[in-house]
């Protein structure tokens, strides 16, 4: 059944709530139609489609609560999932932190549905993949890439009168181009809501150019360097920073925002004053769902402004306990089961349109930023980023698919990849320049020039 | 919390087996069991797909009809944060048409909708065939007829009443808090994959797969200094039932840190973790430099996973993962040379999808290939890879190794890592004896931070507990430790492996790979192992 309209979705949710015998019941119905093409060795490797609808039901008796999911929608199945969530809730001990469901809310809808994406078919996908593969074949380069599109909806309703409906489309494309001798590698990537805006040939050309430029590499000594981070390179570290801005962890003393004496760094200037990171689900560049997973309406939120930690994310319980207005701002990321639910796979309720962040920048292009760098390293992509020390938000990872040495404002030559050990907090204290933000992985990120970025060892990987 | 009752139930289960009656509430299993789909119905659905795709000129078709049950219990300190049950039912149809793969999945489980999905898979294959320059070539696989396989569990964890599971986690949390923890988050993940596979080769395979993972994180906070430390559980995810959580004395390894093999005492481990997290706060910050490392199996599994398991996936080696997970330094010419020294002569690394209790153990893979054990590195020399049916011919072989897996009916199957393990040392050697021989070293227990480059050369690993070794003796705990090395250099610095008495499995429940991303569960066994002169860095930093 995949894509339902608001009326159809709410009709199912009404039926679900009708089966409920719990004190409170909330149901979320989501569905998606996804398609993809994956290619490697300059030929299509796998491609396919995915069509699924999932219902998540949460039932509560007093402070006892539980969740069950199902993807069958006949009346018997709907009743079964309600009963299952109720049975489980009755077995649950009281949760002293239980917060009753929200009542009716007003949600502001972004424009995030584009027919150009929703109507994509296998032939159109193959054509888009071909625009990447064929130029590589002509140049005897090896292309590996992935094109994925998704059209989906989420509907929410509960026994307190809350109702919402949202739908969105997204498409993303990435390609890694390698030279036939395995000595050079380049990367190109983009993500959009409107497939008409996705130019796979242009993105592939970026990857081709980088692959060809990186065949001959020199090895620089590990150490501290000025880096020019492309948006695709820094977006993951910055996302980690934003998703780590959790009020409760800071209050509990187990966050980079905790400090001696049991206090927190919220309200303190921790970074360069040019750092402004916010979220806005209505921004047409990165439209996202109008509510968080717990039903709280999204609003525009400044997380870091003027380098000061301005807001941190609250669960409803913690926001209420700390007397924060409207129980505080919900976190940007999804909660448990909202992707990365592990063994549950993709068929567990995917939440449509979790918002990214927006980092303000300047007006300079990446090329202009490079011109202003005396000595530095241009980084295309960062890889395998993992936490090392939560106390300082220290992360490790590596550069890949296009790392170049810059001197006197010009790319001089390709260099061997580095492993880094760096904290995004320290990184954002060491800003030299910010360029014009570009969309990267659902967020808006400016190209950044950062001094004293810590590379701790060399990697032989191409 | 009802401590005495939980113990009573465990004991009575051990003693009386099937006489066990859940006296409190309805267990999830009563709902889950009722929804097991009869094999005859699955065969009918599968045949609908096989016939529909064949009619549209597919030259090969396989169908996976899957019902996936998960239960996640999430607690902290004295309360349950969430209990989540998930159930997912659907089918994935994979075809070869015009020499190209096509895949379509559907949650519509009627002969009509599954046939429609099969036709859509053929249409996708045909659309992409125009870009295809290497037609898919499958290694032959004889049909196995109608067969079934089940994880050899003693007790289905889904049959254990929820209250008993919650009681256990509450007792675990209480033990940690009583022993000085500031916080504890504990989890219980349970997975049941009911998978039916059918193919045009004539296989109809019904499998019932069970996995379990108890885990926790204990945190110690010193509000005065604003510092904190954590210690994760030394449990491992397993391909077992509830019996893993019924500790047996013979599965416990003593010494400086209590470690576990085939069963796990979660309460005892949480108690130890609370004490160790306090020790970690006081521990000496490591001095960067070269050290000999003595690595416990609870740590080794992740190093094996990243530096052996992934680089020897043939799809990576061939470039199929180049855009995401990356490629591999262990190229085909190195394997074919028969002389590539992956490690020292002490090192034999084997793949095995039959190890009892492991996460990767199944009867047949997701292409209907029976599972087996084989060597990847023998006496230090690279000898083989992990393969699926469409890869074998590329390295001149004629059979798949049975390494195909999809994490859900909605995901397309592809090459996934089997259990990859380090063979224990042949000469008798205990951990204590190994430590006695180390002049300047670090003994590492538990897995921590991990990162490796896209061709699997340069890696960096942390851990949970670090102990300084000086002149053959443990002198105290260290913190801020991570080691960096190069895969080939590292495995060639392996000088000793404890014997099989110390062998234990570790593993990952959520190993990620592919586009779209999929998870898989995989185990890695080893005994405690020594590596000489490895580069250790200090990870401490200061903010503001």
Quick: pLDDT tens for A6-59: 999 999 999 999 999 999 999 999 999 999 999 999 999 888 878 778 899 999
**Rounded to the nearest 5 degrees, what angle is found at the Cα of B437, between the Cα atoms of B435 and B439?**
90
Q: What is the pLDDT of residue B413?
A: 97
B205 touches B39 (CB < 8 A)? no
Give the pLDDT of residue A10: 97
Asked if B427 is an interface residue toward chain A (Cβ–Cβ < 8 A), one would say: no
Residue A441: the pLDDT is 93
Confidence of residue B504 (pLDDT cuts 50, 70, 90): very high
- Structural contact between residues A408 and A215, judged by C-beta atoms closer than 8 angstroms: no
Inter-helix orientation angle B162-178/A75-91, to 10°: 40
Please check whether residue B544 touches A, CB under 8 A: yes
pLDDT for residue A88: 86
Q: Nearest C-alpha of chain B: how many angstroms from A144? A: 5
Q: Do A347 and B88 touch (CB under 8 A)?
A: yes
- Average pLDDT taken over every residue of chain B: 92
Nearest to A36 by CA among A172, A183, A240: A172
Q: Rounded to 5 degrees, what are φ and ψ at A9? A: -65, -45
B281 interfaces chain A, CB cutoff of 8 Å? no
A43: nearest CA partner in chain B = B132
| Rounded-to-integer distance, Cα B517 and Cα A67, Å | 25
Phi, psi of B305 (to 5 degrees): -55, -50
**Which residues 6+ apart lie within 8 Å of A122 measured at CB?**
A35, A47, A49, B123, B124, B127, B128
Is B519 close to A345, i.e. CB distance below 8 A?
yes
A254 near B CB under 8 A: yes
Over 90: is that where the pLDDT of B528 sits?
A: yes
pTM of this prediction?
A: 0.93
Residues 52-71 of B with CB under 8 A from A: 68, 70
A77 contacts chain B (CB < 8 A): no
| Token output for B304 | 């094996």
Tens of each residue's pLDDT in chain A, 462 residues: 678 999 999 999 999 999 999 999 999 999 999 999 999 999 998 888 787 788 999 999 999 998 888 888 999 999 999 999 999 899 888 999 999 999 999 999 999 999 999 999 989 999 999 999 999 999 999 999 999 999 999 999 999 999 999 999 999 999 999 999 999 999 999 999 999 999 999 999 999 999 999 999 999 999 999 999 999 999 999 999 999 999 999 999 999 999 998 899 999 999 999 999 999 999 999 999 999 988 999 999 999 999 999 999 999 999 999 999 989 999 886 432 222 222 223 333 345 667 899 999 999 999 999 999 999 999 999 999 999 999 999 999 999 999 999 999 999 999 999 999 999 999 999 999 999 999 999 999 999 999 999 999 999 999
pLDDT(B4) > 70? no
- pLDDT at position B34, please? 46
Option in B124, B130, B162 nearest A88 (CB): B162
Distance of CA B474 to the CA centre of its chain: 31
pLDDT for A372 equals 98
Q: What is the pLDDT of residue A391?
A: 93
Instruction: Give the H or E element holding residue B321.
Output: none
Q: Examine the pLDDT at B25 and tell me if it is beyond 60.
A: no
Distance from CA of A31 to the nearest CA of B (A): 11
Domain ranges of chain A: 6-213, 217-462
Residue B423 backbone dihedrals phi, psi, to 5 degrees: -65, 140
Chain B residue with minimal CA distance to A121? Answer: B124
* pLDDT interval class at B35 (50, 70, 90): low
Asked whether B210 and B239 are in contact (CB, 8 A), the reply is yes
Q: Give the integer Cα–Cα distance in Å for B509 and B503.
A: 20
Q: In the prediction, which pLDDT does A341 show?
A: 25
Which residues in chain B touch residue A78, judged by CB atoms under 8 angstroms apart?
A: none
Residue B57 has pLDDT above 80, yes or no: yes
Strand partners, A454: A224
Shortest CA gap B136–chain A (Å): 9
Compute the nearest-CA separation of A372 from chain B (Å): 27
Q: Are the beta carbons of B87 and A69 separated by less than 8 Å? A: yes
What's the whole-number mean pLDDT along residues B202-214? 98
Whether chain A has a CB inside 8 Å of the CB on B322: the answer is: yes
pLDDT of residue B6 exceeding 90, the answer is: no
The beta strands (E) that lie in B77-182 are given as 79-97, 100-106, 145-150
The stretch B127-140 carries a mean pLDDT of 91
Residue whose tokens read 């036709």:
B119
CB of B233 within 8 A of CB of B214?
A: yes
**B-contacting residues of A 151-210, CB under 8 Å?**
174-176, 178, 182, 185
**Residue B333 contacts A where some CB pair is shorter than 8 Å:** no
**Does B459 score more than 50 pLDDT?**
yes
**CA distances from residue B178 to A302, B173, B181 in whole angstroms, order as listed:** 40, 9, 7
Name every chain B residue with its beta carbon within 8 A of the beta carbon of A130. Answer: 130-131
Contact A195, A114 (CB under 8 A): yes
> What confidence score (pLDDT) does residue A349 get?
35
pLDDT of residue B357: 97
**What is the rounded distance in angstroms from the CA atom of residue B478 to the CA atom of residue B486?**
23
Subunit contact B104:A48, Cβ cutoff 8 A:
yes
The per-residue pLDDT for A352 is 62
Which residues are CB-neighbours of A404 under 8 A, at least 6 positions away? A213, A214, A377, A378, A411, A412, A413, A414, A415
Query: Is B516:B524 a contact under the CB 8 Å cutoff?
Result: no
- Distance from C-alpha of A174 to C-alpha of A40, rounded to nearest angstrom: 12
What are the start and end residues of each CATH 3.30.2290.10 domain in chain B? Answer: 23-282
CA distances from B468 to A211, A437, B269, B280, B462 (A): 45, 47, 22, 13, 14
Which value, in Å, is the radius of gyration of the alpha carbons in chain B?
24
Q: How many CB pairs under 8 A join A and B?
A: 338
3-state secondary structure chain A: CCCCCHHHHHHHHHHHHHHCCCCEEEEEEEEEEEEEEEEECCEEEEEEEEEEEEEEEEEEECCEEEEEEECCCCHHHHHHHHHHHHHHHHHCCCCCCCCCCCCCCCCCCCCCCCHHHHCCCHHHHHHHHHHHHHHHHHCCEEEEEEEEEEEEEEEEEECCCCEEEEEEEEEEEEEEEEECCCCCEEEEEEEECCHHHCCHHHHHHHHHHHHHHCCCEECCCCEEEEEEECHHHHHHHHHHHHHCCEHHHHHCCCCCCECHHHCECCCCECCCCCCCEEECCCCCCCCCCCECCCCCECCCEEEEECCEECCCECCHHHHHHCCCHHHCECCCCCCCCCCCCHHHCCCCCCCCCCCCCEECCCCCCHHHHHHCCCEEEEEEEEEEEEEEECCCCEEEEEEEEEEEEEECCEEEEEECCEEEEECHHHHCCCEEEECCCEEECCEEECCEEEEEEEEEEECCCC
For residue B16, what pLDDT is reported? 26
As to burial, measured by CB atoms within 10 angstroms (0-12 exposed, 13-18 middle, 19+ buried), residue A111 is: exposed
CATH number for the region A6-213 comes to 3.30.2290.10
**Nearest chain A residue (CA) to B130:** A126
Of B216, B128, B142, the C-alpha closest to B175 is B216
Matching residue, tokens 């409170």: A24
Question: DSSP label at B288?
Answer: P
Residue A441 distance to chain B (closest CA, Å) = 14
Q: Is residue B411 very low, low, confident or very high in pLDDT (cuts 50, 70, 90)?
A: very high
Tell me whether residues A398 and B134 touch, CB distance under 8 A.
no
How are strands ordered across the β-sheet holding B381-382?
Answer: B381-382, B373-378, B349-352, B420-422
Are the beta carbons of A44 and B85 separated by less than 8 Å?
Answer: no
Task: Please report residues of B whose CB lies closer than 8 A to that of A122.
Answer: 123-124, 127-128
> In this structure, what are the phi and psi dihedrals at residue B455, rounded to the nearest 5 degrees?
-115, 5
Site of tokens 């077992």 = B240
CATH superfamily of B23-282: PmbA/TldD superfamily (3.30.2290.10)
């Amino acid at each position: 059944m995949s894509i339902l309209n608001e009326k159809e979705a709410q009709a199912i949710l009404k039926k679900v709530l009708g089966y409920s015998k719990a004190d409170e019941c909330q149901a979320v119905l989501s569905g998606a139609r996804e398609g993809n093409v994956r290619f490697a060795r300059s030929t299509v490797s796998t491609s396919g489609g995915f069509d699924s609808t999932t219902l998540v039901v949460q039932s509560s008796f007093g402070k006892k609560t539980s969740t069950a999911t199902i993807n069958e929608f006949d009346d018997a199945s709907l009743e079964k999932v309600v009963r299952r969530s109720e049975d489980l809730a009755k077995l649950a001990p009281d949760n002293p932190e239980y917060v009753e469901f929200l009542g009716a809310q007003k949600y502001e809808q972004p424009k995030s549905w584009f027919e150009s994406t929703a109507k994509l078919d296998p032939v159109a996908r193959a054509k888009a993949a071909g625009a990447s593969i064929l130029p590589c074949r002509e140049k005897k380069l090896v292309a590996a890439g992935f094109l994925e599109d998704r059209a989906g909806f989420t509907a929410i309703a509960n026994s307190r009168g809350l109702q919402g409906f949202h739908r969105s489309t997204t498409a993303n494309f990435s390609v890694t181009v390698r030279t036939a001798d395995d000595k050079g590698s380049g990367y190109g990537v983009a993500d959009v809501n409107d497939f008409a805006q996705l130019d796979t040939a242009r993105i592939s050309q970026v990857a081709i150019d980088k692959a060809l430029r990186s065949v001959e590499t020199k090895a620089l000594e590990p150490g501290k360097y000025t880096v020019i981070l492309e948006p695709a390179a820094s977006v993951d570290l910055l996302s980690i920073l934003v998703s780590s801005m959790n009020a409760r962890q800071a209050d509990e003393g187990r966050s980079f925002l905790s400090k001696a004496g049991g206090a927190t760094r919220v309200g303190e200037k921790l970074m360069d004053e040019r750092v402004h990171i916010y979220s806005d689900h209505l921004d047409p560049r990165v439209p996202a769902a109008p509510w968080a997973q717990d039903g709280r309406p999204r609003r525009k939120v400044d997380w870091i402004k003027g380098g000061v930690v301005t807001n941190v994310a609250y669960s409803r319980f913690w926001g209420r306990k700390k007397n924060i207005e409207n129980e505080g701002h919900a976190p940007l990321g999804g909660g448990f089961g909202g992707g990365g639910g592990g063994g549950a796979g993709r068929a567990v309720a995917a939440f449509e349109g979790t918002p990214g962040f927006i980092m303000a920048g300047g007006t300079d292009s990446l090329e202009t930023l490079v011109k202003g760098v005396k000595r530095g390293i241009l980084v295309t992509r960062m890889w395998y980023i993992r936490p090392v020390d939560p106390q300082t938000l220290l992360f490790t990872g590596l550069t890949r698919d296009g790392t170049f040495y810059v001197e006197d404002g010009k790319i001089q030559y390709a260099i061997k990849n580095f492993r880094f050990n760096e904290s995004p907090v320290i990184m954002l204290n060491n800003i030299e320049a910010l360029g014009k933000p570009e969309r990267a992985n659902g967020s808006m990120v400016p190209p950044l020039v950062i001094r004293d970025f810590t590379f701790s060892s060399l990697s032989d990987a191409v | 919390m009802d401590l005495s009752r939980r113990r009573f139930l465990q004991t009575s289960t051990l003693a009386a087996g099937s006489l066990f009656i859940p006296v409190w509430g309805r267990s999830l299993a009563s709902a889950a069991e009722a929804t097991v789909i009869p094999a005859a119905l699955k065969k009918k659905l599968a045949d609908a797909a096989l016939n529909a795709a064949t009619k549209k000129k597919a030259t090969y078709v396989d169908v996976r009809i899957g019902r996936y049950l998960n239960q996640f219990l999430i607690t902290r300190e004295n309360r349950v944060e969430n209990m989540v049950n998930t159930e997912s039912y659907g089918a994935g149809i994979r075809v070869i048409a015009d020499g190209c793969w096509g895949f379509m999945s559907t949650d519509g489980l009627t002969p009509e909708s599954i046939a429609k999905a099969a036709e859509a898979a053929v249409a996708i294959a045909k659309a992409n065939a125009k870009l295809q320059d290497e037609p898919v070539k499958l290694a032959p696989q004889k049909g196995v007829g109608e067969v079934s396989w089940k994880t050899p569990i003693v007790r289905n964890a889904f049959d254990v009443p929820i209250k008993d599971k919650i009681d256990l986690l509450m007792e675990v949390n209480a033990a940690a808090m009583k022993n000085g923890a500031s916080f504890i988050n504990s989890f219980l993940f349970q997975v049941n994959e009911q998978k039916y596979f059918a193919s045009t080769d004539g296989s109809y395979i019904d499998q019932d797969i069970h996995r379990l993972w108890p885990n926790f994180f204990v945190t110690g906070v010193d509000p005065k200094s604003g510092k904190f430390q954590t210690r994760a559980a030394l449990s491992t995810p397993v391909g077992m039932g509830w019996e893993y959580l019924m500790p047996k004395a013979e599965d416990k390894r003593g010494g400086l840190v209590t470690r576990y093999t085939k069963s796990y005492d979660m309460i005892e481990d949480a108690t130890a973790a609370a004490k160790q997290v306090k020790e970690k706060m006081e521990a000496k910050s490591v001095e960067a430099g070269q050290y000999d490392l003595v690595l416990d199996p609870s740590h080794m599994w992740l190093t094996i996973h990243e530096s052996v398991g992934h680089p020897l996936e043939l799809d990576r080696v061939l470039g199929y993962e180049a855009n995401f997970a990356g490629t591999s330094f262990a190229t085909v010419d190195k394997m074919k040379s028969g002389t590539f020294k992956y490690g020292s002569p002490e090192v034999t690394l084997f793949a095995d999808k039959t190890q009892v209790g492991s996460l990767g153990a199944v009867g047949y893979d997701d292409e209907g290939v029976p599972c087996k054990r084989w060597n990847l590195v023998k006496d230090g020399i690279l000898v083989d890879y992990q393969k699926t049916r469409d890869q074998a011919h590329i390295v001149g072989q004629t059979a798949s190794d049975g390494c195909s897996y999809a994490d859900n009916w909605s995901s397309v199957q592809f090459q996934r890592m089997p259990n990859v393990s380090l063979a224990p040392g042949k000469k008798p050697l205990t951990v204590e004896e190994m430590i006695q021989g180390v002049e300047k070293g670090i003994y590492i227990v538990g897995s921590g931070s991990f990162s490796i480059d896209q061709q699997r050369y340069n890696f960096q690993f942390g851990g949970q507990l670090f102990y300084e070794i000086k002149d053959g003796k443990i002198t105290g705990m260290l913190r801020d430790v991570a080691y960096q090395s190069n895969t080939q250099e590292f495995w060639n610095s392996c000088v000793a492996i404890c014997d099989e008495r110390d062998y234990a499995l570790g593993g990952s429940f959520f190993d990620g790979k592919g586009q779209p991303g999929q998870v898989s569960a995989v185990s890695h066994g080893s005994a405690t192992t020594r590596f000489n002169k490895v580069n250790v860095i200090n990870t401490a930093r200061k903010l503001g």
